[in-house]
Amino acid sequence: MKIISRRFLGIRLFFLGILLSTMGCDKYLEEKSDLSLSTLSSADDLQALLDNYSFMNTNFSGAGEVSTTDFYVKDEVYESFSFDQDKSMYQWAGKNLFVPANTTKNDWQYGYEAIYYCNSILEALSGQISGMEDRLMNIAGQAYFWRAFRYFHMAQIWCLPYDVNSATSSLGLPLRTAPDFNLPSQRSSMADTYRLIWDDLHQAIARLPETTGTKARPSRAAAYALAARISLSMGDYSNADLYADSAFAYGNSLIDYNDLNPEDSYPIKDLNNEMLVWASMSVYQALYAANLCVVPDLLALYDDSDLRKVIYFKVNADGSYMFKGEYTGSYTIPVGLMTDELYLIKAECRVRVGDLESGRAYLNQLLEKRFRSGTFVPVTVDERDQLLEKVLTERRKELLFRGLRWIDIRRLNQEGYGITQSRTVGGIKHTLNPNDAKYALAIPEDVIALTGMEQNPL
């Protein structure tokens, strides 16, 4: 294999960074360039790209979280937003949701940047993946994992919820599997988008190691956990259950919240033993710790003996509540995979197939670690629908501000749950009805103008 020097790699990445920061994502994908990374070939160089955490692990879209109603911002905070696009997103305006890429990077651009890096790595390994040495197999597995994760997360923002009955006709994402700037941007079908996601994830599972030594790199457990999350989002509860089992085979640790200090600014520390792989969202002004207020109906769900009430929340001077329960040790909003999510996936899937005893057991194992010592009373509900509702409520309480509530609302409304979201801005009530077309957010207008691809219904 041809080896390139680190100095040359640094120069190329420097100029690529300039290119990406000055161009819209699809423009970056469309225009000719001699900055292809496809000649990268040493294992160190390829791993260095994957370890560029600012591209791989961060800036997953936060638009779904902004679009949920577990929080609100006060009118004066709303008026202080720097960009009109942030205001539009907060009230589900239907268009003008993302700042143009010539102003600052937007979520679409961040996603395709990461995908470009994955494609460059996989092209460098092209023809050598079968039978390659273990380290390069691992590198290929990481690239497949991140590409699958990015495409899945982007599909939750810019595509409607997956529906097997309309997947071949519903709009998916433009799919890039090679680092070629000259390929036209065309939207695939939903079926093709998810087919690529699953193909990539299966490739990742086959190649990733059991352990990594760092939570910034994906392991096989993280890949199985992602597969469980994706299956759940698709309403494929049987496979979600199986994939969660596979992830648990590599560990099922839980934090005992009795061991945390609720007086800490951020009681849950970064890289904790529940975390399978570290990843974070882009943070909008609406999601700043000092800006958002947790809605009272969510707070009312927590018992006084539930430690999440003091671990997750802090009362503000005006009596409202802020959120401090991030799994990153700071106000960096996580979107990575954690074991607590797997317990809730197992509980929900077991209950859905009628195995109430097993469903209760998974739920109680989690909740016992969340209540003050000596106060936990195990869940004993023995009616299927009531137990399922309990699991879904605990899912909302446990996994808030991780990008998962948006995904849950989308899938549950497809099943007839009728979750209507509403918030008031300046005395005007805005509503997002169940299964509204706006559950697929508008693609940035500059991308549409540049490529001519089909926009989501507004």
Tell me the per-residue pLDDT of 141-181, one tens digit each, with 9 for 90 and over: 999 999 999 999 999 999 999 999 999 999 999 999 999 87
Where would I find the beta strands (DSSP E) of 16-86? 71-72
Radius of gyration of the chain (CA): 22
pLDDT tens across 62-78, in order?
999 999 999 999 999 99
pLDDT at 2 over 50: no
Closest listed residue to residue 276, CA positions, set 333, 340, 332: 340
pLDDT recorded at residue 38: 47
pLDDT tens across 304-327, in order?
999 999 999 999 999 999 999 999
pLDDT recorded at residue 205: 98
Q: Could you tell me which residue, 184 or 57, shows the higher pLDDT?
A: 57
What are the extents of the domains in the chain? 6-65+98-234
pLDDT at 121 over 80: yes
Closest listed residue to residue 331, CA positions, set 273, 291, 274, 272: 291
pLDDT recorded at residue 36: 43
User: For the chain, what is the mean pLDDT?
Assistant: 90
| pTM for this predicted structure | 0.91
pLDDT at 33 over 80: no
pLDDT recorded at residue 132: 65
pLDDT tens across 275-307, in order?
999 999 998 999 999 999 999 999 999 999 999
Percentage of the chain modeled with pLDDT above 70: 90
pLDDT recorded at residue 43: 87
The architecture (CATH level 2) of 6-65+98-234 comes to Alpha Horseshoe (1.25)
pLDDT at 18 over 80: no
399's tokens: 């996994």
Q: Let me know the angle formed at the C-alpha of 185 by 137 and 114, rounded to the nearest 5 degrees.
A: 35
pLDDT at 437 over 70: yes
Say how far residue 425 (Cα) sits from the centre of its chain: 27
pLDDT recorded at residue 8: 31
Q: Residue 189: in which H helix or E strand, if any?
A: strand 187-189
Rounded-to-integer distance, Cα 436 and Cα 420, Å: 10
pLDDT at 350 over 70: yes
pLDDT recorded at residue 253: 97
Lowest average pLDDT, out of 35-49, 71-85, 366-380, goes to 35-49
